Amino acid sequence: MVDLVWFQLLSAALFVIGLYGVMARRSAVLIVMSIELMLNAVNINLIAAASHMEGTGSFAQFDGQLIAIFIITVAAAEVGLALAIILRMFRNRSTVNVDEIDLMKW
């Protein structure tokens, strides 16, 4: 049986990869993809804790899985909005590189 800590380490690795992507990429589309990776890392963590610590402490039985469902819902909404914003950005500035969108930069 795989211990809880290995799932947590997997989630830490995915989160760090996503964080690197958010900071290092220039294209807004790739930044959205990296955010999806980070959200998935959080979901792995929640679901692993839910299924390994079920009934212990203050955990109700399905709380972790249900929070993960809500995270997936918010992720879907976020991707839809991100697509709209990226389209608008591309139409106005003909670029999706976030470092060229510097109208409000001092």
For other proteins, the closer of residues 2 and 104 by Cβ is 2
Name the token pair of 42.
């959080």
Q: Answer yes or no whether residue 51 interacts with other proteins by CB under 8 A.
A: yes
Chain center to CA of 28:
14
Q: Answer yes or no whether residue 93 interacts with other proteins by CB under 8 A.
A: no
Size of site (CB under 8 A) for other proteins? 77
Rounded to a whole number of angstroms, the minimum distance from the CB of residue 86 to other proteins is 5
Q: Answer yes or no whether residue 82 interacts with other proteins by CB under 8 A.
A: yes
The residue ranges of DSSP E strands in 3-63, in sequence order, are none
- Angle CA 42–40–85, to nearest 5: 110
